[in-house]
Structure 1
Amino acid sequence: MEKMLRILYLKDPIPLDKQVDFNLEKDYNVRTVLDRQELETSLKGFTPHVLLCSLESTISPKEVLDILELPKEQPLVIISVINGNLKDVLPLLESTSPHLRERNSKKAKEDEPEELEKQYKTVYQNSLDGILITQPDGTILSANPTACQMLEMTEEEVCRAGRFGLVDSEDPRLAYAISQREKEGKVHAELTFIKKSGVKFPVELTTSVFKDAQGDLKTTMILRDITERKKVEEQLKISHESYKTIFYNSPIPYIIYDQETLEIIDVNQVAIDNYGYTRKEFTGLSIIDLRPPQEVPHLKMHLRNTKNAEKTSRYGKFVHLKKDGAQIKVEVYGYSFSYNNRICRLAACIDITEKEERLNLLKEKHARLTTAQEIAKIGYWELNIASQTLFFNEMMYKIWGVDKSTYFPSLSSIEESIHSDDRNKFIKAQENSIKNGKKHNVEYRILLPNGETKWVHERGRILTWEDGNPQTVERTVQDVTEQKTYFEKLSTSESRYRGIVKSQTNYLIRTDLQGNYTYYNEKFYSDFGWLYRDNGIVGQNSMSSIKEYHHSAVIDLVQRCVLAPGKTFQIEIDKPMKKKSGVRTTLWDFVCLTDAKGEPTEIQCVGIDISARVKAERQLKDSELRYQLITEATSDAIWDWDIDTGNLCWGKSFKSMFGHDPEDFNTIESWAKILHPDDVERVTEDLFAVIEGPKKKWVCEYRLKKKNGEYAYVIDKGSILRDKNNKAYRAVGSLQDITERKKLEDLLDKANTLSRIGSFELDLKNGELYWSPMTRAIHGVKEDYIPEVKTTIDFYKEGKSRNRIKKVLGKAIRKNKAFDEEFEIVTGSGEEIWVRVMGQPEVENGKCIRINGSFQDINKIKHAELEVLKASREKEILLESIGDAFFAVDENWTVTYWNKHAARLLNCPKERILKKNLWEVFSDTAGFASHRNYEATMKDKKKRHFETYCESTSAWHDVTAYPSHKGLSVFFKDITQRKTADVKLRELNKSLRAHTRELVTANKGLEQFSYIVSHNLRSPVANILGLANLLQYSEYPQEVKETFFDEIFSNVDRLDSVITDLNSILQVKEDKKAKKEKIDLNKLISGIEFSIQHLINKEKAEIRCNFQETASITTVKTYFYSIFYNLIINSIKYRKPDIQPVIEINTIRKGEFIIFTFKDNGMGMDLTSKKDQIFNLYKRFHHHIEGKGMGLFMVKTQVEMLGGKITVESQLKQGTTFTIIFKENVSQINQENEAAMSVFDSR
């Protein structure tokens, strides 16, 4: 096909395996773009006729228009598509091209309508969007398969339902969409539709009116299910907020800079603190400004090398400049990403200045010590007396002549190596040192594995003590064989030297003064002989086995050796590794050898491979850094226990959480002393059982005593490190304070225990059933009993109860119907009891997937009811055997019966009251509620049940009064214990309700915010899309198109205004820790009057203040100023026409509360049905007056942030009064605070 239309396609950023696989560029004149860079490249020399815009594209049509800058006479058709229907859309665009129509023959023109009709049907039937053809009155004429599938209906059902049967009538956007379509002939909106199953889901709707072939008006409705898109949008929003929080609150300094301009775009607070610049100063710098001049070339080279790096990478160590000119060394990690349409890089700059200095100092000390030991041939060993573990340094292995990889040192192995004539002397010296604390000093001979005898001189001391007993001892051992056997060594020195050289596990070489090899040992040849192949090593230059970057250092060291013969010089040298790309790091001792005249002749070098040690040191640095960052970042108390030494270390949070100095608790024993006495045995036994066993994890909850004497509930989680023999040698973990959680759990457990209520969960997906501990107790089974879905029905008593439970469960599963029933069950012990079962189905996609509910033991209540029924049938027997108190009176209140329980509970014997007037005996109860209940029962002959308190016996009674034609029969019992339990239960419920209200309030706030964002952002977006669709028709006059563009930009401004408002609200809610200060109320009013003086003069407003009771308040000034300012502005704005606005502001002090009232004589409001909406965001009640509905929302938000409460009273045309109440210390007022509410209500 000849390429005619020029089409630009803004495609989805979706994986390639999910895109439609066809070549757009080959079949059509189409250019596809994914990001801004591709867009700019594609539009060079290419002006499209059509813009296909995917709804998920990262590029907006406005960005394309900004780059194109099309002339007014140049049309551009913009069409929203999805990737799946491009094959249908593109042929239609080509077939309607004016260029093709000019070239087509007359025959083609005649066949065009038929061809278009076929193409239309293809699109209609195969479209991935739902399509409905309707009449303007909402009657649906047809629906394509996608629409039917979306709505879960057949086409006949869709047509029968009509438009109003498919759209949620409660959706406030529906009326607006209909009015817009009637006004404009088309509309693009989002509405809530309802599936056949009743499930509501969001739909993106495009509808327009057209005339059919007969000239009748018809409507097309294109539906797109955007449920998944809504979920993604919410997830993206949460992800954005999470990453923002991580960036600004991270303990690591972060810098974001533009990769092209190197300008610094943003930094976090740690970077500001570390470098000394303010945020404003930072954003005026480039990253070059943070480097000293000599570092800039290195920086630029590094930037070129890492420009295209996408993943997180370690850039290296660099020198940075602070604001005061101080230089610091930092380790930098970076990551490239797109930020505000700019290619940026996030750099983490970790200050390692102090660490580097300490590490270098440690290296120097270690090198000097090692050199000294090598020169003096002094070995060192250390013994842990308790564990009998012994440490050898490298020289010890050399002195003993053993291989480190095969020899495992111990005290017994040392004793075995000692000459038999010296062994007792060594043992006694050890015992004298350890038992008596004497200094250790002994000489003895040792027998080497090769049969050689050596003399050694050993000195030592006790290194550590515990409880008066030595714990570790240390020894130095010097080879003094030379002194002891001088003459013998003199005669055999040459042979021994050769034996040492051959058995040497280190490298040994000699070179002449020009650096050419003159000697090498087997170890050197085995590791580096491959460099010389068959040419031999002797005579070759030694630089050939050294990495080039170390040549100058080696040459300098050799020169110093020559100037100081006999002196040992040490150096680290990198050498190549065979068959590997890495290097072998070695440590060498260089010494210059001389001839008999003292003239330098050769350089002797002894070296060892330290690659493993260097790697371990690097890993140790990284590990220490990670540990430090984790310790500083977490709120938990991190601990590290060396099981072998018993040393216990704590993180910084240990002191902040519990008040203890970590140094005072550096052993397990000291830690155990602050455990709760009831927990010590359980916790320590559990810990040591894990240490001795095979487990690698330990989790335990217990109580730990804080510095102030209080106990905190904690959860302790640890990981056990084990050696190759599975022996635990180290444990690390964290301690978390769960005191608050425990309090809530205890409250809930007490409430459930008192009411005998358990819970259950029936998982229909996985066929599993869960019972809470109380539910198991009610069923009379063990705590570890696992209920099964198939057999749990057997607990219900055969007959009515079992049949009934099957029936209600069936309805719950099939019809999603909740239930609340009473049943008889047979417990595991065979007891028959009554239970109350409540169940609530959980529905997913119209299907019940889970039933959550509760079990309550009502056996006592049920049996009490049955007893009452039985009592009515067997009255005479009951009167004799009844357990409750009972009395009867005639119509004249003469007592005719008084049982022993009545005598006991009312402390009145039968002889005192029988045949006497009840009220004469109990004259002190006249006028009380019990007296009124008896009188009413006698009068209206209706049974009454009530509870009453008896002053004379200080007891609560549960009373039931039965009327008869002869008088009254009264049953009562002592319920004092139950009432006491009820009071406790109400207190528990009150606490639970308070927490629940807090959660509900938070959820309502989130729901309102979500709705506002959706409603106020979608409206301008829908308008923009609708106007953009109108612009695709080229027949509109230029003036109309300009009007469309003006409307588009107007809606863009609205969108920006809404986002600005929401940012303001979020800023208010985030700024919770603003500084409080004392505010003079008169000065505050004067400041507001000055700022709005022009408005006051214009409207002739009068502000009257009475602050006699409270002239000042201590709070957050910015919030308080905003509250007063918005309420004053609000009163002036909603004044009565032609009447001078008067605003009265008063303060009233009542107890610990301060009340502010703002009263005006303005227009007022009818709050009958809108009182709860007045403080909602974007709510306005006088639409003829300019405003956005932000002021009162901000006032309420700020009042509540300061711990206050605001209410409003208003009458239409009578004015409005706002009342604000604060505690004097401006703390949070809880809704359960009855004192605060009574002050407020009695004003």
Structure 2
Amino acid sequence: MNFSGLKLRGKFLTGVVFLVVLLIIIDVVITRDNNRTIQTNRFLQKQAEQVKVNVSQFAIVIIHNLDLGLRGYALFGKEKYLYPYNVALKDKDSVIAVVEKILAEQNYPLQEFHQLSDSLNAYASFCTHLKALYDNNKKDEFLRLGDQDRGYDLWLQYEVFARKVYAFEDQINETATAKYNAAINKNYVVQIVLFLICVPALLIMARHTLRKFAIAEDLKTLALEKAQLLADQNATLEEMVRVRTEEIYLQNQELQHRNNEVATQNEELTAQQEEITSQRDQLATQNEMLSEAKRIIESKNKEIEHKNDILEQQVEERTKHLLEYNQQLEQFTFISAHNLRAPVARILGLGGILRYANSEEEKMIIDKLISTTTELDTVVKDLNDILVLRKDNISILSEIDFGEELELIKMDLEKEMIETGAILDYDFSRAPGIRTIKSYLDSILINLISNAIKYRHPGRSPLIQVRSDLVDSYVCLTVSDNGLGMDLSLYKEKLFTLYGRFHNHVEGKGMGLYLVMTQVVALGGKIEVESEVDRGTTFKILLKD
């Protein structure tokens, strides 16, 4: 045998193994460096996006809120409209500081930033001065300075700065993306090289191992042949020496051979018996497994059937909801056309009469014309509110404190409450607030409370009670009154329909409860009602927090 060739192959395989280990170490080092590069560039990408968001807040949080708050305050003269203005003054410095910190970390030239921040501070001081002029009733000076529109100049300065910052951040983002992709490509190259070297090396090692096994088998065969040769020689010598005892020896050999055959047969029978026992145990185990699998399949089939039943029920409910919605839409279209045609017809009729009337009659007709036009405008506004709810119910969610909201509603309804002697009692101790759409919640409460005042009992002052509670996964708002009440057996199905009215002794359009239902559904909630004639009505609004 060629042992020198085997040594050379052994050295070659050792070298290949060493090379594979070295490549694995290199791959680990490069992968670690690539991961660091990837993490660094991910951070740069996130930082670039954060700078864009924070720079956009200059316009939204500072400039826009200052203008919105000051103009709303000047227009209506109420403190609550100063909320955006106060937010802008409060958040101005923190927004500027965040942007300055990140731009400084990115080595961005800060000269224009400082100019813009100085302009922002100057504009905030200017708005503060305007507010002081308005508070001191110097409205002429307020209007003169406000007409300069410094906010527009500041906006132009902000747009120039924002475009430069966005371009700078886009460049950072592109550079980070390129490095990120380069690191990933480098990783791919190392993995491919490692694969191309390791696979042939493993194939060579497998071939060498097979050869070693073959050589070992050859050596084993040679050893057996050598032993057989020695045995044959010994047998010949013994045959020559023991000629006379050959027959006895052969008989002993034959007896021994038979004994071996019997022993071998016994061992084979024992092995077969053990194999039969093992197979029987396996069959029993398999039967148990099949029974368990059958039980699981039956359970899964029942579960699937149950889910199919639930899906069918959901489809039926959704179909019913769509049919109801289509009916409401048809009713809405018919009533809208009717209500819009009537005011328009009256306006046309009054316009025709106006040509023949004297001056006193003209004044009366003009008053009628204005009243009718106002009625038409109210109908159009109501229709617009409903269409807005139908078209888009996506608004910003905010944390709402029930007590604070109800105090604001009391201020809005103060005149009606004083005129009717209404008492508004509330308790929000069990559920102080909720996270939902503020405008929808305000509209729901205003409609229910104003209805309680409007449909009060003539023999007693209105008592309106508002409570909050937690019911399962819902926040439940309960609005109760001691008013006229209604017969739900007659009106329950039409209670929340468009233009549905059940008391004709007071003015109304029949849209309040329809708006309440629409807004509750838009918030993913539900509404329940209890009422008794001459005793009062209770509405329960269940909203998801």
Q: Given the two structures, how large is their TM-score scaled by the length of structure 1? A: 0.21
Q: Tell which has more relative contact order, 1 or 2 (C-alpha 8 A, sep 6+).
A: 2
- Bigger proportion of residues as strand: 1
From the two aligned structures, give the one with the greater helix fraction. Answer: 2
